[in-house]
Structure 1
Amino acid sequence: MNNTTPYDAPHPYDPTAEARWVPEPDKRPGRTAFQRDRARVLHSAALRRLAGTTQVVAPLLRDFPRTRLTHSLECAQVGRELGAALGCDPDLVETACLAHDIGHPPFGHTGEEALDTAAATCGGFEGNAQSLRILTRLEPKRFAPQDGAAVRLAPWPGRSVGLNLTRAALDAATKYPWARGEHPTDPASTKYGVYGDDLPVFRWLRTGAPAGRKCFEATVMDWSDDVAYSTHDVEDGLQAGHIDPAVLRSADERSELFKIAERYAPDAAPAELDEALDRLLAQDWWPRSYDGTARARAGLKDLTSQLIGRFCLAAEQATRARYGPGRLTRHAAELVVPRGVRLECAVLKAVAVRYVMQRDEQAQLRSRQRIVIAELADVLARSAPHGLDEVFAALHQEAEDDRAALRVVIDQIATLTDASALALHARLVEHRTP
């Protein structure tokens, strides 16, 4: 990427973007509001928890796996540079990238699906909506005033307001800026960014934003997420021996691969996907084989670097071609990603799904993980506050009805790592007295 935007250019963010849900003084003058946001996310327990949360391969199954934490760090590096090249505040984009997966539960998307089923009577579960809930409620850093005029600024007098990030940071971390069933073009979509009882802070952070449209920094974060996990998942699959580069030239394999790619590019014809894969395989840096040697490993690193550069440079150039020079921020623009590059990314995602995630042992593992989450939700819902930690036990006792009480149980499970979910299941389910 050609970063032609100096960091010391005139500050393009107004006080509305830098406002916090609960106003607070800066303890250390000289830092920007977004530097404070980045520090708060980086030092949070919620971010550290992602070190023990599944990305593709469960953290305990092999040495040095990519986890949700390493993915978030890699996404942050990609997003920081791409955002800075386009004029965003780099700390703001990095904050959004660090926080974008902070609400994902144990066992990755498998855990997310199981919790959505368990939470059916209290509004469901979605990792992105949970991220907002953690940032604005569950990760204790600041509390709303107990009384006085300042109470008007928060809906929960005396309650935690989470990390109390700026409006711009929360907006940038919101990948799906709508509630369940309110997708702007697909009401049946299962992707959404806020639960019903978090709507007050959601409406606050979306002040001045076009309905249903992500802010510019969120589009940078979203593309950085796609770029990071599509390239790194393929790298991991090649290194683990699950992906044979030669297989990608088989017509039969491509047919199956493109069926998967359709979920990421539903409007793409097989011929377009075929051309996208051919473009990648034709590159000098695309591996023809992988034998685990040091030279082969260096080749995989180069593959990742080349793909990230290819995808980000294409987005930067296309966005500049539409909007011209200058700093692009907040609601003044949307990231432009050329269709061909989006299809290349979709094909890479399909490669990882087919050859890594759909292996038989992974399917068996996911089945077991769904059972663990379902049984944990059942036993905790029936026995709470027993089994909940101190914070959630107190919230459970304050719950005004069964719906709110179940949401506390879901919040508790969502804060677990893979290992702690298995340990709690063993203690409450496997070892309980009949």
Structure 2
Amino acid sequence: MEGTAHPAHHPPYDPTSVARWAPEPDKRPGRTAFQRDRARVLHSAALRRLAGKTQVVTPGQRTPGWDASPRTRLTHSLECAQVGRELGAALGCDPDLVEAACLSHDLGHPPFGHNGEEALNEFARDCGGFEGNAQSLRLLTRIEPKRFTEERSVGLNLTRAALDAATKYPWPRGARPGDPASVKFGVYEDDRPVFDWVREGAPATRTCFEAQVMDWSDDVAYSVHDVEDGLHAGHVDPGCLLADPEREDIFRVALGRYVPADTDPAELAEALDRLLDMEWWPHNYDGSARAQARLKDATSQLIGRFCLAAESATRDAYGGGRLTRYTAELVVPRAARLECAVLKAVADRYVIQRAEQEQLRADQRIVVAELAEALVGRAPDGLEPQFRALYDRAADDRARKRVIVDQIACLTDVSARSLHAYLTAPLAKLS
């Protein structure tokens, strides 16, 4: 591309890329900086907690036809990491760096998935809001206890490149390019010092190449796997994808949410038909062992299709060599993006929008709101020791509220309900 330096003219990862906020020696010579980053994320408590956080279906929830083992934030992150590692390596990225970013990308998500994120954002509107990606940066650089300076915790103390690769939205609240009203952002105001260090020398609001690989891998993993889970659970009837009224519903869901609102629905119909015409598409899925194997093959085919489309288009644009950091942009063909968006809309329409799921989400919003208010009224009671100490040292009400948000964000679905019951039951008895 014109104006973009060829990656061969630059070292893949220079000393600034492998620098850490708090300098530290390598305890085991022979390991790369990015291998250490990957290991730190993989062994973190924050990653383990994702096993108890909602992806689409609440962990442990049993529904007719469901095998009681739905994907969680943890399994999604592991699958995203596998996709990202292979795609990144094919394009010349350090595979451990991309894997560390993929494992990190959802660490800041609170209990109850995006539903919990919306409830926490409402609670935190007067102290900077809440956004799962900004929370991930905060967790990696402040909350997750691994390294300390004399002043405070520096979290996992990952390299600059690893933190940058995990940053989907490199701008503060209200500063998204072209859309200042967007709720998506990547840093809270009191985390600006480390964010500015991470972004030192980076083009403003531009995501690095590894973050783009991570972002596409995330889209691929959850779009494909959510449809797989929906078919396996019986929520998605393959025949409905051939019926015009059902298809129109899917396209309405996609418009504005997964594709620009001015997208021609005919393009979405063509994208869906391309997938349905594939010889490996799991038509007439009935849950039998043979059908399950066919579904699993379709999942692999879809992931390969989307990754190869991005790999080929990016290589066509940039040629060979290692593509890293700010030497290239990931090129995803429009056809692949539309196919991915249609899959997201299918899962949204038939899994997320089920009536019982909306009832559950309403209950979850109440739990988060009541838990937050109970902690405001009773803190430091109810706070874990780590957050109790931060609460006691907080300079003002705004800072104390942020500590409460941090505590809630670290909870799993079950621990959020448990803490809610503990803090609200005594109040209920007094009323």
TM-score normalised to structure 1 length: 0.94
In the TM superposition, residue 431 of structure 1 has moved relative to its aligned partner by 4.3
Specify the SS of the correspondent of 2:356: helix
Residue equivalent to 2:123 = 118
Residue equivalent to 1:235 = 228
Residue equivalent to 2:26 = 26
Q: Note the residue ranges of structure 1 that are not aligned, 5 or more in a row.
A: 1-9, 147-156
Residue 183 of structure 2 aligns with an amino acid whose one-letter code is T
| Residue of structure 2 aligned with 1:336, choices 331, 339, 358 | 331
Alignment of 1:16-415 (within 5 A): 16-62=16-62, 63-144=68-149, 146=150, 157=151, 159-262=152-255, 263-266=257-260, 267-415=262-410
Alignment of 1:1-16 (within 5 A): 12-16=12-16
Specify the SS of the correspondent of 2:26: coil
In the TM superposition, residue 292 of structure 1 has moved relative to its aligned partner by 1.0
Aligned sequence identity (%):
73
Residue 165 of structure 1 aligns with an amino acid whose one-letter code is L
In the TM superposition, residue 11 of structure 1 has moved relative to its aligned partner by 6.4
285-294 vs 412-421, greater mean Cα deviation = 285-294
Residue 94 of structure 2 aligns with an amino acid whose one-letter code is D
The alignment of Structure 1 onto Structure 2 pairs a total of residues equal to: 413
Residue equivalent to 1:3 = none
265-274 vs 77-86, greater mean Cα deviation = 265-274
CA distance in 1, matches of 2:329, 2:374: 45
Residue 115 of structure 1 aligns with an amino acid whose one-letter code is L
Q: Could you give the per-residue CA deviations for residues 249-276 of structure 1, whole angstroms, max 9, x where no partner exists?
A: 1111111111111111114210100100
In the TM superposition, residue 64 of structure 1 has moved relative to its aligned partner by 1.4
In the TM superposition, residue 430 of structure 1 has moved relative to its aligned partner by 3.0
258-267 vs 301-310, greater mean Cα deviation = 258-267
Query: Is the CA contact (8 Å cut-off) linking 2:259 and 2:341 kept in structure 1?
Result: yes
Residue 98 of structure 1 aligns with an amino acid whose one-letter code is L
CA distance in 2, matches of 1:327, 1:208: 20
CA distance in 2, matches of 1:350, 1:245: 14
RMSD of aligned Cα (Å): 0.9
Residue 275 of structure 1 aligns with an amino acid whose one-letter code is E
CA distance in 1, matches of 2:202, 2:15: 15
Q: Could you give the per-residue CA deviations for residues 310-364 of structure 1, whole angstroms, max 9, x where no partner exists?
A: 0000000000000110000001111000001000000000000000000000000
Query: Is the CA contact (8 Å cut-off) linking 2:104 and 2:136 kept in structure 1?
Result: yes
CA distance in 1, matches of 2:373, 2:92: 48
| Residue of structure 2 aligned with 1:424, choices 378, 400, 419 | 419
Q: Could you give the per-residue CA deviations for residues 158-200 of structure 1, whole angstroms, max 9, x where no partner exists?
A: x000000000000000000000111112111110000010000
In the TM superposition, residue 289 of structure 1 has moved relative to its aligned partner by 1.2
Q: Could you give the per-residue CA deviations for residues 90-139 of structure 1, whole angstroms, max 9, x where no partner exists?
A: 00000000000000000000000000001111110000000000000000
Q: Could you give the per-residue CA deviations for residues 397-433 of structure 1, whole angstroms, max 9, x where no partner exists?
A: 0000000000000000000000000111111113444
Query: Is the CA contact (8 Å cut-off) linking 2:87 and 2:311 kept in structure 1?
Result: yes
Q: Which runs of structure 1 show a deviation greater than 6 angstroms over 4 or more consecutive aligned residues?
A: none
